Amino acid sequence: MISGDMCGIIKHLSHGAAPRLSNLRKRLFLAESKVRHFEEKYKVTLGQLDADGLSDDADYEMHEDYRMWHHRAAVADKIKKSIASLEETVKWTQVA
């Protein structure tokens, strides 16, 4: 049996997760949108570009975009992990 104090904590976790998940999903959308922008701009995925390497004639803008592309992809991956973790916590609170 779960004590009253624990029920309160579980309820608090569950209610606090909703706005956090909403915020994370918005940030994920933004990060993935930036990644798609670069894919459309250069007509290649980041994985393929990493495999092939930047061309010898890549200009300064492409080098900067490449760095930002990696950053945005890493941010998206981190956010996906945060969402999965928080969703698992919420699922656990619903069982308890």
pLDDT of residue 62: 97
The phi-psi region of residue 2 (left if phi > 0; otherwise alpha if psi is between -120 and 50; otherwise beta) is beta
Q: Which residues of the chain have pLDDT under 70?
A: 1-14, 93-96
Check residue 90 and give its pLDDT.
Answer: 81
Residue 11: what pLDDT? 60
**Number of CB atoms found within 10 A of residue 34's CB:** 17
Every domain of the chain and the residues it spans: 23-95
Q: What is the pLDDT of residue 24?
A: 97
pTM exceeds 0.85: no
Check if the beta carbon of residue 26 is closer than 8 Å to that of residue 75: no
